[in-house]
Amino acid sequence: MKFKTNAKCIGCSTTILNKMRSQFPDQEWSLDLESADKVLEAHGMPDDPAKAAEIEAAIASTGFNGSWLRPAAEY
């Protein structure tokens, strides 16, 4: 799953990634500060609205914003 964040620097990234790794330790995480959306990615995690809400809340607990980038519907 991927999330748009408002991270701006390596310090922001470190704060968010530390929270994700502590709350969701079985997941591999990355945050791309070079992308326009500053994308946080949970690699290999299946798309799940309930889990996305959990992750958004975890991001918010760090003082940053995060919103799930829902995949486009497949037709």
CA–CA separation, 4 vs 68, rounded Å? Answer: 6
**Residue 70, pLDDT above cutoff 50:** yes
Task: Convert the pLDDT of each residue in 9-37 to its tens digit.
Answer: 999 999 999 999 999 999 999 999 999 99
Any idea where the domains of the chain sit in the sequence? Answer: 2-68
> Cβ contacts of residue 14 below 8 Å, gap of 6+?
none
Q: Which residues of 12-39 are buried (b: 16+ CB within 10 A; e: fewer)?
A: bbebbbebbeeebeebebebeeeeeebb
pLDDT at 12: 97
Identify the architecture of domain 2-68 in CATH. 2-Layer Sandwich (3.30)
Tally the residues of the chain. 75
Instruction: State the pTM of this model.
Output: 0.91
pLDDT tens-digit series, residues 35-52: 999 999 999 899 999 999
